[in-house]
Amino acid sequence: MTSTIVWFREDLRLADNPALHAARVRAAPLVCLYVWDEGRSDSWSVGAASRWWLHHALAALAQTLGANGGRLVLRRGPAAEVLKAVIAETGADAVYWNRCYEPHAIARDRALKSELAERGIEVRSFPGNLLLEPWELTTQVGRPFRVFTPFWKALRQRDIPAPLPRPRRLNFAPAIVSDPLADWRLVPQSPNWAAAWSQYWNPGESGALSRLKAFLDRDLRDYAQTRDWPARAGTSRLSPHLHFGEISARQIWHAQALSAVGQEKFLSELAWREFSWHLLFHHPQLPEQPLDPRFSHFEWRSDEARLALWQRGQTGIPIVDAGMRQLWNTGWMHNRVRMIVASFLVKHLLIHWRAGASWFWDTLVDADLANNSASWQWVAGCGADAAPYFRIFNPVLQGQRFDPRGDYVRHFVPELARLPDRFVHSPWLAPASVLDAANIRLGSSYPRPLVDLAAGRERALRAFARLKEVGKA
């Protein structure tokens, strides 16, 4: 008997799953497979926080398939070998998947497609987790976009394909051996630094749908105003669900309630995601190389000690430390604060954006090769449509503007909880009596600033200005 293998990858859902939909139409019994393949051809194997998410997302998918009378087959090893073994065990004559767009995935899938086709297997791939395929949107002269605004205008004019319905009945092939998920040891053991994460996150398709509903019902209306306030949960927090494909970008785009006031702003953020993937697809070197070639000459400072203090949220700059501790404690950081901590690292400390991107890669539950690389390059000023080099966020002013009462800082940096609002973003300016009253000893209970912000800014401006000379040379 024949069967169709549906190879789940970054699409851990049943609704709007084009590969699953087509396999169901094909009518042969289904083998639902997930492959844990650690041997990648690049240096971006799944980070620690994302592994935690992946474990729970796979458990959720396995449960949903189980409730539908099927099974998620888990196998570990190089994808090509696993697929060949599963084909041999099941007699499958077709393999269907939804596309991934990371450079290593494109290369792997291309090779697999021809290898399996040579063996007489029908291989079909389908649109993955973007609104449009990255090659479908071009400038008027047929080139990829490098500037966001025209990209967004062009995208807004296009009809985005409507999501496919969740399949009602699925017909599964007889069960074959599957690895126990626990054997993959995706969740941390000792210490289990993610023990509290289930309070914040509910990985899996139903968690994604409830998150979307909660956001649409409660937060979308004010999104344009509140999305920049880190103390308020005013953004959707859909990013990890989107990364693992527990919900598709098309489902969100077409969600009914998107007629509210915050809609355009929210859709434009989804478009930033799309833009990042467009950039990665057309510039596969994005995670490693600056898009602006002048930056190859930039003299980044190698400073392991300061990098470690930044990672641990011990820089002495409250909003930076709050952000880095939110990241460590919850696996996520608010977008405004991501920009502030990234700017502090690359501009005030002049540490390479790739060091920041790697740390985010390991610690974010939404770590995403396109969004992470494009955003870090954007902040560093070396990416497409990037922030200009002279835009150096002042973290104190940013904190005062977007966290005026210091609620966010107080939550994640409890040592500063008793400081009055006026000094919560700049404890080093507080008089000794105020510090005493708040039980703070600068240099012991909370660090002094790692750099003098004004001097750091001047140093960065000088370093970045030298690039202009490179450009002229």
Which chain residues interact with ligand FAD by CB under 6 A? 227, 235-239, 242-243, 269-270, 272-273, 276, 335, 338-339, 342, 360, 364, 366-368, 371-372, 375-376, 379
Residues 383 and 374: beta-carbon distance below 8 Å: yes
CB of 343 to ligand FAD, least distance (A): 9
Active site residue 376: yes
Looking at residue 39, its amino acid is G
Token pair listed for 394? 């002042």
- Taking the least distance from each CB to ligand FAD, the nearer of 34 and 376 is 376
CA 225 to CA 401: how far, in whole Å?
Answer: 13
Nearest Cα residue to 249 out of 363, 105, 101, 143: 101
The residue annotated as part of the active site, out of 68, 202, 335, 394, is 335
Q: How far is the CB of 372 from ligand FAD (least distance, A)?
A: 3
**Cβ(392)–Cβ(461) under 8 Å?**
yes
Q: For the range 335-342, what are the long-range contacts, defined as Cβ-Cβ under 8 Å and sequence gap of 24 or more?
A: 335/227, 335/228, 335/235, 336/227, 336/228, 336/229, 336/230, 336/398, 336/402, 337/230, 337/408, 338/375, 339/379, 339/393, 340/393, 340/395, 340/398, 340/399, 341/310, 342/375, 342/376, 342/379, 342/380
Q: Is 269 a catalytic residue?
A: yes
- Residue 36 designated active-site: no
- 295: closest CA among 470, 90, 116? 470
Q: Minimum distance between the CB of residue 243 and ligand FAD, rounded to whole angstroms?
A: 6
| Cα distances (Å, whole numbers) of residue 26 to 19, 71, 93, 371 | 11, 19, 11, 35
Q: Out of 36, 44, 376, 378, pick the active-site residue.
A: 376
Identity of the residue, 119 or 158, whose beta carbon is nearer to ligand FAD in the bound complex: 158
Tokens of 297: 């000459």
- Shortest separation between residue 448's beta carbon and ligand FAD, angstroms: 25
At its nearest, how many Å lie between ligand FAD and the CB of residue 24?
28
Q: Of the two residues 272 and 300, which places its CB atom closer to ligand FAD in the complex?
A: 272
> Is 272 noted as a catalytic residue in this protein?
yes
Please pick, among 97, 353, 359, 361, the residue that the annotation labels catalytic: 353
* 335 is known as an active-site residue: yes
* Residue found by looking up tokens 């970008």 in the block: 249
Q: 184, 193, 300, 328: which is the annotated catalytic residue?
A: 300
The 10 Å Cβ neighbour count of residue 217 is 11
Question: From the CB of 373, what's the least distance to ligand FAD, in Å?
Answer: 8
Q: Which is nearer to ligand FAD, 292 or 368 (CB)?
A: 368
- Look up residue 451 and give its two tokens: 């750099």
Joined together, the tokens standing for residue 206 give 């139903």
Which residue, 70 or 230, has its beta carbon nearer to ligand FAD? 230
Which lies closer to ligand FAD via its Cβ, residue 362 or residue 407? 362
- Residue of 184, 193, 272, 428 with catalytic role: 272
The one catalytic residue among 115, 133, 269, 415? 269
Q: Is 7 a catalytic residue?
A: no
Which residues are annotated as catalytic?
Answer: 269, 272, 300, 335, 353, 376
